[in-house]
Structure 1
Amino acid sequence: MSVATLPAVRGRLTENAPLAPLVWFKSGGSAKWLFEPADRDDLSDFLVALDPDVPVMGLGLGSNLIVRDGGFPGVVVRLGKALAKVEKLDDLTLRCGGGASGILVSSTARDAGIGGLEFLRSIPGTVGGFVRMNGGAYGREVKDILVECEVVLRSGARRTLALEALGYTYRHSELPEGAIVVSATFRGHAEEPSVIQAEMDRIAQSREESQPLRSRTGGSTFKNPPGDKAWRLVDEAGCRGLMVGGAQVSEKHCNFLLNLGAATSADIEALGEEVRRRVKDKSGVTLEWEIQRVGVA
């Protein structure tokens, strides 16, 4: 199937689009098709007409993602500016497009005097991604602020889902496979903008001091096991600085993997699996991947 035989779109549809430039690790293969819809109607109409056997995946900022070297054999949907707007609904509530960044959402909340969304400042992704994964940091999670979200299902049908329908657990939701989050409604509490800014500054400083922010990384690699920290178990297993090919466990924060410049996605994934093996041997704990791994090896 070529672009010419796919459903007509008003947005941008690119065949054999390299994904490495779009993800934080800067590694991996191409998408068979990359679709950047003009708006939610464009996305819905496209998916309604698309062969149901073609896999579909949403892509935000590509921060918590390994795209395997063989690429993704279907359609990758990337939401652009038309689906990245943030608007105030009332004194405590924001409606945020699925393509909006955590920084934009938290800054808009600050300007509106809405507290409780500061932690989104530290999540390097977009609304669609952290709604799907129940993203969280610094003691709060998306489930603490979400009212509802609007999704376009793989079938092209549009649904509005309340918080209770998402089945949130730690870094997991029950959103259907292939569903794209096109907007989310968040509610906080009344707070002075200066207080909100102070908390955002504290979070930013904490991240700067503890995480390798200027590296080719994918963010937190493994979920924290109940009652423990993934980084502590990785460190205890002697994995700090461990390398496979061009990939390395960060010396600064050992729940982060780094592409030192020439790592393949296979190097990065193999390093993660070696870390999991060593942690299991040392502590008996089986670490679960937090980073999503997609595509063909």
Structure 2
Amino acid sequence: MNVHLPQWPDLLPTLGSWTAEIRGQLIPNQPLDEMTTLRVGGPAQLFFRPVDEDDLAFFLKHLPAEIRVTVVGLGSNLLIRDGGLDGVVIRLPAKGFGAIDILDGHRVRAGAAVPDVKVATASAEAGIDGLWFYRGIPGGIGGALYMNAGCYGTETRNRMVELRAVTRQGEIITLTNEQMGYLYRKSNGPRGAVFTSATYQGFAGDPEKILTEMRTVTERRESTQPTRAKTAGSTFKNPEGHSSWKVIDEAGGRGFTFGRAQMSEMHSNFLINMGEADAFEVETVGESIRQKVRDKHGIELKWEVRRMGHFVPGREVREFMDGAPFTGAV
């Protein structure tokens, strides 16, 4: 990456003596690019990796309310801009948040740091059907809960019974499926809450049959999607009545390239980092595709990938819908 990434003022000394009681890691100016599957993005002003739920609750309870908090999971549906993120970035480690428990009644409880594929596999091996769709989602349970992740006709909201979370005030709470207010690729739970685990309801199934179906999902993904590339997965939500990949194809977007980023030749709704792209190049490709689709179809594609953080001055990416022609230049 050729962009000179900024450094944030050290936030840690301003927080006070209570941070000495934190058992997890607190790291100023932690680079975040390697924590996302796109491999782009600037640093976190202060990075926090809690040991367990109590450590997380203590930290959030004492952190001043005016400091921004961002949660980063496995980074599979995320584009962090080159200027990085101010405030605190939290990432839950597998050691404290990576357990999978098989419960009575064909239920499964999984920590927020567990990769979706591991939940699918553990459920299948236990003879629990209904969660195999997670095999097709490259991310973690925390992100799936937040984004209502789904594929092949099943979404997180169809299986999630309840979840545990820590509020911005440091309170540990339980939320029902209804309280999450799930919509297509969206949730409406308490603002600022950090999800720590969830319980899912499946149903009885034959392990070998479920595992066979999962292998079919894997083969299908690998034959149609750039699973080995630096990508954030599906880039845009499907517009009502349309498929994103199809309208992108029809607008000439397949293979569109800017700098070292590209709309995949293999699947036209997958943005990929072809090597050492920066976030500016990746986001520019996305906005260029949105303009192409609007110009061709009058359809305004909505990002499914979460974009966050600050631009590096002089390398801002404008949304094409601001009324000005979008060329990728600023």
* Same topology, TM > 0.5: yes
The equivalent position to 1:188 in structure 2, one of 182, 202, 206, is: 202
- Is 1:70–2:70 an aligned residue pair? no
Write the mapping of 1:1-297 to structure 2, written as runs, cut at 5 A. Answer: 2-6=11-15, 7=19, 8-80=21-93, 81-297=95-311
**More off after superposition, 73-82 vs 1-10:** 1-10
CA distance in 2: counterparts of 1:39 and 1:278, whole angstroms: 46
List per-residue Cα deviations over 1:269-293 (Å, max 9, x = no partner). 1111110011011011100000000
Shift of 1:31: 0.5
Shift of 1:82: 1.1
Shift of 1:187: 0.7
List per-residue Cα deviations over 1:21-44 (Å, max 9, x = no partner). 111111110011111100000001
Matched residue pairs, number? 297
8 Å CA contact retained: 1:58, 1:178 = no
> TM-score, with normalisation over the residues of structure 2?
0.88
- Aligned partner of 2:6 in structure 1 is none
8 Å CA contact retained: 1:91, 1:114 = no
Shift of 1:3: 2.4
Identity of counterpart residues, as a percentage?
Answer: 44
CA distance in 1: counterparts of 2:300 and 2:171, whole angstroms: 38
CA distance in 1: counterparts of 2:71 and 2:41, whole angstroms: 16
Letter in 1 for 2:252: G
8 Å CA contact retained: 2:131, 2:202 = yes
CA distance in 2: counterparts of 1:33 and 1:123, whole angstroms: 29
Letter in 1 for 2:11: S
8 Å CA contact retained: 1:217, 1:257 = yes
SS in 2 for 1:219: strand
> TM-score, with normalisation over the residues of structure 1?
0.98
Letter in 2 for 1:205: E
List per-residue Cα deviations over 1:73-110 (Å, max 9, x = no partner). 01111111211101012141011111111111111101
List per-residue Cα deviations over 1:36-62 (Å, max 9, x = no partner). 100000001000000111111111110
Larger Cα Rg: Structure 1 or Structure 2?
2
Shift of 1:111: 1.6
5+ residue gaps, structure 1: none
CA distance in 1: counterparts of 2:71 and 2:178, whole angstroms: 22
Letter in 2 for 1:182: T
CA distance in 2: counterparts of 1:292 and 1:182, whole angstroms: 20
Shift of 1:5: 4.1
Q: CA RMSD in A?
A: 1.1
CA distance in 2: counterparts of 1:173 and 1:91, whole angstroms: 26
Shift of 1:136: 0.3
8 Å CA contact retained: 2:125, 2:211 = no
SS in 1 for 2:284: helix
8 Å CA contact retained: 1:36, 1:77 = yes
Moved over 2 A (4+): 1-8, 175-178
SS in 2 for 1:66: strand
CA distance in 1: counterparts of 2:253 and 2:198, whole angstroms: 38
Shift of 1:2: 3.4
Letter in 2 for 1:59: V
Shift of 1:294: 0.8
5+ residue gaps, structure 2: 1-9, 312-330
8 Å CA contact retained: 1:27, 1:263 = yes
